[in-house]
């Protein structure tokens, strides 16, 4: 094959091949095809029969086709749809140009002459959209995305950079119509030592990372949203309280009396807003715009289907961001690079972002720390700031550069925590982390998410990447409250606070035990939070006022501070109580917090090698929940907790299974319960209802969009989606 390429080049008399786009008048798809199976010509050009015949009968190093000078299509054309690219599906057709039909291995869409896209066939006989492969080369790749063969000649789009060595190129005009900005140019790869080939190429190509990431696109100037006065309390956070018992005998006292504080965020905002603030679901739905930075693992272990599905998932994210949202993508392997700065997701912004993401190739090691450092740098050095900001980090391997491979409970925390984005004031930038497959470092990734206030999700199967991303951005695109701060105050001189059980949220009790607070942070639309406050109850008569609860937060869309009126907690004090009935709401949350504590204890035992004790702890917790008042009443959350604990027992059956999936499954569950926010967890159908304990309507809607898009290419249904259509979002306190 190599000798045939050499003969072809010699027959053309040069090492550079330039194919000028044909004109509409010159199109003639009826020309006979006399080429062999290795011919690289996409479609003959009738107006230059000699050139067409030469290209048809001689296999060339590469060729391209372009209709009407158009290279880029619509956004939908670049959305990946086929999850499994294979070299078999990309073979050249032996039946000629009329039956030409292939799949581009970069954007995963069908390639066919006459669709307005230039096509490029490489020296290894694999064909791609020219705009896809040129973007691929621009970002540092010098090998075929399908067969991984190192190319000797590379395609470039438009004029060559000034830094590139000058080469002699002879242009054979076709119809005399040339457009230098859209020519297909093959440039020989500069000779370099094999060990430094990619780094040498990257130095020659443009788009190297600048020293300062202050080149973010300015925010869109827009009119302020106006509040609808008819909505009233629907636009504010709801506060409810539930004492453990509504009646306590007048002469009795309680040392550890529990009060539940229940918060619920308002619905998605329906305001009179300009179009750039709308989320695309309807003409009146508005939300706060987002700055999103995705940090993606493209190491060698991501090759093949993993990378193809990651590109498709990122395509879904890009298509669901609005014109006021901004996105930046960091790709890391042995090192990290920023594909593009924070860019508004306008129509052109989406097009450019899709091209950059589709250019990703996998190679090298796994340097999570460098990827996280650059993602934080984008946030810290941006010139403008959208109200909501977050990082999404995905990795499928162990960090081979920062942390030693020795497993440990506290492994990696100090190294990564120093790399998290610094914050101004109380606003924290959460890092939502996705551990992919059986080989990722779940301990370190969980540490990153926990320290930053983000969530850790475990993606066990490749097909679940897009749904996991969809659930996450469904929440990020529905933030309705920021910096939420809860305050509690005693209303009785003899009532003092014992403890505040708030999971991972920071809480404080004053020295005099009469005041307390909880820092909740951001809330998604319809999201709920439950906290348990322990107080003592002194003897009393008639009615005892225990405490009052209030909160303050910022509305990110209206850009105003909201102070909620205090809600008081009172109990009746009759002389005699025949039967004390515990509050199901309080008992349910006690079970949730107890289950989370047992999960942590079981994991600690498993890390020490005592899987038998870990399984025993989980079994005892299951029996306790089943026998509790809420468990006996058939409470859905208790049923979900029992199913989750059972799943954890199964994943701790032996050391091999615990290492492969048990540890990540437990850590994802701990993350979800500690933040009371939905995470993706494995692919178990037994505990699928667990996800719904914290899932919101916005998350479900985004999952349904993902399901709809996936159905068009691969008919499948994930456990999250089956449950999203079958169960309500969350048990409502009565």
pLDDT of residue 271: 45
- Which of 124-133, 308-317, 710-719 is predicted most confidently? 308-317
Structure tokens at 399: 């960090």
Note the pLDDT of residue 670: 96
pLDDT band at 707 (very low <50, low <70, confident <90, very high): confident
Residue pLDDT, tens place only, 144-158 = 877 767 776 776 544
Q: Is the pLDDT of residue 362 over 80?
A: yes
248: nearest Cα among 570, 557, 566, 19: 570
Question: Where do the H-state alpha helices sit in 429-560?
Answer: 442-452, 465-476
Nearest to 67 by CA among 22, 129, 18, 132: 22
Q: Supply the pLDDT for residue 35.
A: 37
Count of beta carbons in the 10 Å neighbourhood of residue 656: 9
- What three-state secondary structure class fits 90? helix
Q: Is the pLDDT of residue 479 over 50?
A: yes
**How high is the pLDDT of residue 692?**
62
Residues 603/667, Cβ–Cβ less than 8 Å: yes
Q: How many CB atoms lie within 10 A of CB 243?
A: 22
Scanning the structure block, which residue is given the tokens 């993706």? 680
CATH number of 238-265+481-583: 2.60.40.3670
Pick the more confident residue, 4 or 700: 700
pLDDT at 409 over 60: no
Q: What is the pLDDT of residue 480?
A: 95
For 138, residues 6+ apart whose C-beta sits below 8 A from its C-beta are: 156, 157, 205, 206, 207, 359
Q: Residue-wise over 30-41: b if at least 16 C-beta within 10 A, else e?
A: ebebebeebbbb
Distance CA 730, CA 734 (A): 12
Residue 723 structure tokens: 């449950």
Per-residue pLDDT at 528 exceeds 90: yes
Q: Please tell me the predicted confidence (pLDDT) of residue 234.
A: 58
Question: Would you say how long the chain is, in residues?
Answer: 734
- With a CB cutoff of 8 Å and minimum separation 6, the contacts of 567 are 239, 240, 241, 548, 549, 550
What ranges do the domains of the chain cover? Answer: 238-265+481-583, 290-401+417-480+694-710, 585-675
Q: Which two tokens stand for residue 402?
A: 């920062």
Span of 194-198, 551-555, 719-723 with lowest mean pLDDT: 194-198
- Residue 285 confidence (pLDDT): 57
pLDDT at 8: 56
Of 545, 485, 533, give the one whose Cα is nearest residue 509. Answer: 533
Mean pLDDT of 497-513: 96
Assign 401 a pLDDT band (cuts: 50, 70, 90).
confident
Mean pLDDT score across all residues of the chain: 76
CA distance 701 to 320: 12
- Among the residue ranges 159-173, 228-242, 362-376, the one predicted with the least confidence is 159-173
Whole-angstrom distance, CA of residue 616 vs CA of residue 417: 34
Q: Residue 556 has which token pair?
A: 């990110």
Say which range, 282-296, 540-554, 584-598, has the weakest mean pLDDT.
282-296
Average pLDDT over residues 49-59: 38
Integer angstrom CA distances of residue 393 from 68, 185, 414: 40, 36, 18
User: What number is the average pLDDT over the span 483-492?
Assistant: 96
Residue 40 token pair: 């690289």
On the 0-12 / 13-18 / 19+ scale of CB atoms within 10 A, 116 is middle
Extract the runs of DSSP E, i.e. beta strands, from 398-524.
Answer: 431-436, 456-459, 479-490, 497-501, 506-509, 515-524
| CB-CB contact of 124 with 142 (8 Å) | no
How does residue 273 score in pLDDT terms, banded at 50, 70 and 90? very low
Q: Is the pLDDT of residue 24 over 60?
A: no
pLDDT tens profile 417-439: 888 887 655 578 999 999 998 99
pLDDT bin (cut points 50, 70, 90) of residue 492 is very high
Fold exhibited by the domain 290-401+417-480+694-710: Rossmann fold (3.40.50)
What is 323-351 written as a DSSP string?
TT-EEEEEEESSSEEEEEEEEE-SHHHHH
pLDDT in tens, 657-670: 999 999 999 999 99
Task: Give the pair of three-digit tokens for residue 328.
Answer: 């930046």
Q: Among positive and negative, which fits the CA dihedral 225, 229, 231, 232?
A: positive
**Which ranges constitute the DSSP H helices of 42-129?**
49-57
Q: What is the pLDDT of residues 591-648, one digit of tens each?
A: 999 999 999 999 999 999 999 999 999 999 999 999 999 999 999 999 999 999 999 9
Single out the residue of 90, 71, 204, 93 nearest to residue 144, CA to CA. 90
Residue 84 banded pLDDT, cuts 50, 70, 90:
very low
pLDDT at 423: 63
């Amino acid at each position: 094959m190599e000798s045939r390429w050499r003969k072809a080049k010699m027959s053309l008399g040069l090492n550079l091949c330039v194919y000028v786009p044909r004109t509409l008048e010159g199109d003639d798809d009826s020309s006979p095809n006399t080429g062999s199976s290795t011919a690289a010509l996409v479609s003959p050009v009738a107006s230059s029969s000699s050139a067409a015949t030469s290209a048809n009968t001689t296999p060339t190093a590469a060729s391209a086709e372009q209709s009407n000078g158009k290279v880029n299509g619509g956004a939908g054309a670049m959305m990946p749809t086929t999850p499994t690219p294979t070299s078999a599906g990309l073979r050249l057709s032996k039946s000629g140009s009329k039956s030409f039909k292939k799949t581009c291995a970069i954007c995963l869409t069908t390639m066919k002459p006459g669709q307005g896209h230039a096509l490029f066939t490489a020296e290894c006989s694999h064909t791609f959209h020219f705009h896809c492969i040129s973007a691929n080369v621009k970002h540092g790749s010098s090998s075929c995305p399908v067969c991984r063969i190192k190319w000797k000649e590379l395609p470039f789009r438009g004029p060559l950079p000034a830094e590139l060595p000058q080469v002699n190129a002879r242009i054979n005009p076709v119809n005399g119509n040339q457009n230098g900005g859209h020519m297909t140019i093959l440039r020989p790869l500069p000779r370099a030592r094999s060990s430094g080939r990619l780094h040498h190429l990257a130095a020659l190509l443009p788009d190297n990372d600048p020293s300062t990431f202050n080149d973010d696109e300015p925010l869109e100037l827009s009119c302020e949203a106006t509040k609808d006065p008819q909505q009233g309390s629907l636009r504010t956070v709801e506060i409810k309280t539930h004492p453990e018992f509504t009646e306590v005998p007048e002469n009795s006292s309680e040392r550890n009396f529990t009060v539940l504080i229940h918060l619920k965020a308002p619905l998605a905002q329906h305001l009179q807003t300009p179009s750039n603030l709308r989320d695309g679901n309807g003409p009146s739905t508005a939300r706060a715009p987002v700055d999103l930075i995705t940090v993606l693992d493209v190491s060698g272990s991501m090759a093949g289907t993993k990378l193809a599905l990651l590109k498709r998932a990122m395509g879904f994210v890009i298509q669901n961001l609005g014109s006021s949202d901004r996105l930046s993508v960091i790709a890391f392997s042995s090192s990290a690079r920023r594909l593009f700065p924070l860019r508004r997701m306008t129509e052109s912004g989406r097009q450019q972002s899709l091209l950059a993401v589709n250019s990703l190739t996998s190679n090298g090691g796994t340097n999570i720390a460098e990827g996280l450092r650059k993602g934080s740098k984008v946030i810290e050095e941006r010139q403008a700031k959208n109200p909501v900001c977050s990082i999404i980090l995905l990795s499928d391997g162990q960090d081979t550069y920062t942390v030693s491979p020795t497993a440990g409970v506290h492994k990696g925390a100090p190294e990564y925590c120093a790399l998290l984005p610094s914050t101004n004031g109380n606003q924290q930038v959460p890092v939502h982390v996705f551990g992919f497959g059986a080989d990722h470092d779940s301990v370190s990734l969980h540490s990153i998410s926990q320290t930053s206030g983000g969530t850790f999700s475990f993606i066990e199967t490749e097909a679940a990447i897009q749904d996991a991303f969809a659930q996450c951005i469904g929440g990020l695109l529905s933030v309705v409250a920021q910096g939420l701060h809860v305050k509690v105050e005693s209303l009785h001189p003899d009532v003092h606070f014992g403890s505040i059980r708030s999971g991972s949220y920071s809480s404080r009790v004053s020295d005099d035990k009469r005041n307390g607070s909880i820092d909740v942070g951001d809330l998604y639309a319809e999201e709920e939070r439950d906290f348990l406050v322990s107080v003592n109850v002194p003897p009393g008569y008639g009615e005892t006022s225990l405490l009052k609860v209030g909160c303050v937060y910022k509305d990110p869309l209206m850009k105003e501070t909201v102070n909620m009126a205090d809600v008081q907690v009172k109990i009746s004090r009759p002389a005699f109580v025949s039967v004390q009935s515990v509050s199901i709401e309080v008992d349910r949350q006690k079970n949730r917090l107890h289950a989370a504590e047992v999960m942590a204890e079981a994991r600690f035992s498993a890390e020490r090698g005592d899987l038998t004790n870990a399984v025993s702890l989980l079994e005892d917790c299951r029996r306790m929940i089943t026998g509790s008042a809420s468990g006996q009443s058939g409470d859905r959350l208790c049923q979900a907790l029992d199913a989750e604990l059972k799943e954890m027992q199964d994943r701790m059956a032996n050391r091999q299974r615990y290492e492969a999936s048990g540890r990540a499954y437990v850590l994802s569950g701990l993350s979800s319960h500690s933040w009371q926010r939905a995470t993706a967890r494995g692919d178990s159908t037994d505990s699928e209802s667990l996800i719904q304990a914290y899932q919101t309507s916005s998350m479900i809607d985004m999952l349904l969009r993902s399901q709809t898009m996936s159905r068009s290419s691969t008919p499948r249904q994930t456990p999250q989606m089956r449950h999203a259509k079958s169960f309500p979002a969350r048990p409502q306190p009565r």
